[in-house]
Every structure is written in structure tokens, then in C-alpha cells.
Amino acid sequence: MGAEASGSGPALQELVCEAETSLLECKVCFERFGHRQQRRPRNLPCGHVVCLACVAALAHPRTLALECPFCRRACRGCDTSDCLPVLHLLELLGSVPRPARAAQRSAPCGSGTLICRHAFGGWGTLVNPTGLALCPKTGRVVVVHDGQRRVKIFDSGGGCAHQFGEKGEAAQDIRYPLDVTVTNDCHVVVTDAGDRSVKVFDFFGQIKLIIGDQFSLPWGVETTPQNGIVVTDAEAGSLHLLEVDFLEGVLQRTERLQAHLCSPRGVAVSWLTGAIAVLERPLALGPGACSTTVKVFSASMQLIGQVDTFGLSLFFPSQITASAVTFDHQGNVIVADSSSQAVLCLGKPEVFPELKPIITHGLSHPVALAFTKENSLLVLDSAAHSVKVYKVDWG
């Protein structure tokens, strides 16, 4: 009897952790639901649940009209109602010791644990974000999204420091951003699917260069240690290197590094080895079919490792759909998996794949990854319209 009670403790804590992550947190402001007025969970007519404070913030002050931040269904603030199941769950869990917030989104990472320490953004601050980058000099976080100003720059605490890149049809505007990188000298480079161009801005948002005749559909973009720019072309099936005089705003040279790729999207560069990882996502052949391939090339563009969805399925119990790729500081390939809402380490390219899940809870639709100099992992969660900051806990 005592053994059963003892064994139920960890299981109960795991259940509480899952409830805290999935059910008891407002996915707009990331605050825990509660019985206090501003934190009360409210049902929208579409079935999604947000806190009363976010209902008030999203609603028009005069007409009370609002859109669901997740499905965009229109309603009015007065159409919302208390979410009784969540309120009852709060009461049921009131006597259960809450796990520390740091333990809610943990997964093994080497000898330590990856913990979600911080999240910023949220609906309204970010709208359907697609790309993420770090400024090498300042450590500021740059995100491209579907807001009126397409580029948003955050300080280390998650506050919005600056934004630019108007939504519009002018050449210097950004129509539909797909990805972003920041060069070693703090220039912001954006791939724009709207006019199929690559646009270079200084860190204050002044346009420096538009490269509009080189690509069919530029998608992923990344900076090399030599301050070059690598760009994938999803329609042409190619990978390109751009050498730019950023101060003068002049394209000096272009080189096609790879051809015959299959709908390449994400791209990452290892600053340790110079290796380049490319994420291919071929067109689906049938309903529900989705396959991705990660290819890694050496600095001299020799293929040194690759793995696809089928190969990964031999090591992981569920289908993996890679939605982002990066390298950690040790040269391991890290991918986001949008199917299982996870982040996975694939190991070194030479020994693919040594698959290890490093984040398995708390994500909705991860679309971009980046490591800071302090080895924190930033995950851009498009469905939550937020950036989540994971750190290693060695305790």
C-alpha cells in the first residue's frame, strides 16, 4: 500500500506538470489562470480560452469587437463566458503542490536539463512569426512576423526595443517575410516572399540593399563566420552565397553552392566547423503525406550527413516533421519538430542520427531556433506568437 502511494507521487506531479503547461496557462500572455477577476479563464465562442485581461486587451474599447488570436474568428467581448472546466480544475489542483515553473518544460540535455525560463511576445506583440535571429554584437533578438511593422527587435529582457519594415507594396517595404539573419556588423537581412527578394537593412531600419533578380523564391537565410550570407531558393532548389559590402550597400558577388536540392527552406551554419545544414521539404505526394530531409555539407560543400523522415522514424516513436534547423556550440545538429511539438538533437553530422529529444513539452508550433552565446536556446513558437527561452539547469 505504502509502495503504491509512493509510486503515485511522481505520476501525480507529472500530471500536474502537464496540466500547468497545457491547460492552466493563458496562451496569449503566458500567465497562469486563477480565480481573481483579471486571470479568470474565458471561453470565446470558437472554443479557445484566454484570460479576462487578454479579452479586455484584444477587444475594441467602444464596440468590444475582437478576433480570436488563434483562429481569427470574430466575436465580441460580451460573448465570452467563464470556462468552468478550467475553474474546476484549478480548484481540484489547489491542494496539490504546484511544481516549480522551471520544471514545467524540461527535457534532458547532456548532463543537465533544458528549462523554459522566460517567454516574451504574445499575440499582438507578434503575429504569426516566421523567422528568428540574434545580433552577434548586442545579443538582441530579431523576429520577423505578420504585423504592420514586419521586423521586431527585442532586448535581453524581452521588451520591444525597436521595430521597422512597413507592410506595403513599395520596394523598401516587406510584403511577406519568411526568414531573417543579422550580420556580424549588425545589418538585418530578410527574405521576402512577396516580391521574391532579399532585403538588407541597417540595425535602425534604413534600407541598404534590395536583391530582387537573383531568386525564384528565397526562403532561409543565415550569416557565415566570414560575414557572407547563405540563402536557400525553395523554387529553384538551390543554395547561394552572397558577398555584400554592407556599409556601401553593394552586392559584390554571388555563388551557387548547391543545385538539385528538393524545396530547400531552413538553413544553418556552424560557427565551429563552417558546416551548412539545409532543411528540405518536398511537396506532399498525397493527403497527410509530409516528408523532410536534413542535409549537412562541409565548409567545402561536400555532403557529410543526411537523414529524412523515414530514417528518423526508426529511432523515434512518432513521425518527425522538421520545421527548423540550427547548430549548437558543439557542432551538433538541432531540429524543431512541428509534428510532436518538440526539439531534437540529431548529433554530429558524421554519425547521423544520434537522436535525443531535448524539449518535449510546452511548444505548439516551433518554426525557428537560435543559440545565444550563453548557450540558451531560443525557440520561436508561431502558434503561441512568442519566443521561448530555454536554459540548461545543472541541478
Radius of gyration of the chain (CA): 22
Higher pLDDT, 108 or 168: 168
In this predicted structure, what is the pLDDT of residue 372?
94
* CA gap 209, 151 in Å, rounded: 16
pLDDT of residue 211: 96
Separation CA 65–CA 48 (nearest Å): 16
Q: Give ∠ CA 371-154-321 in degrees, rounded to 5.
A: 45
Cβ neighbours, 10 Å, residue 306: 17
Judge whether 82 and 68 are in contact, CB under 8 Å: no
Residue 13 pLDDT: 59
The mean of the pLDDT values for the chain is 85
Query: What's the pLDDT score for residue 102?
Result: 36
pLDDT band with cut points at 50, 70 and 90 for residue 309: confident
**Nearest C-alpha neighbor of 336 from the set 273, 281, 374, 260:** 281
pLDDT surpassing 80 at residue 344? yes
C-alpha grid cell for residue 15?
500530471
Q: How far apart are CA 308 and CA 355, in angstroms?
A: 12
How confident is the model over 101-119, as pLDDT tens digits? 433 333 334 445 688 888 9
For residue 4, name the pLDDT band (cuts at 50, 70, 90): very low
Banded model confidence at residue 2, pLDDT cuts 50, 70, 90: very low
Q: What SS3 class is residue 338? A: coil
| 54 or 5: which leads in pLDDT | 54
Contact 238, 219 (CB under 8 A): no
CA 48 to chain centre: 22
Confidence label for 243 from pLDDT (cuts 50, 70 and 90): very high
Per DSSP, helices labelled H in the chain are 2-22, 52-58, 84-92, 309-313
**pLDDT tens digits, 137-159:** 999 999 999 999 999 999 988 99
Look up residue 178 and give its three cell numbers. 519568411
Burial of 4 (0-12, 13-18, 19+ CB in 10 A): exposed
The answer to whether the beta carbons of residues 135 and 142 sit under 8 Å apart is yes
The SS3 assignment for 96 reads coil
d(CA 99, CA 87): 19
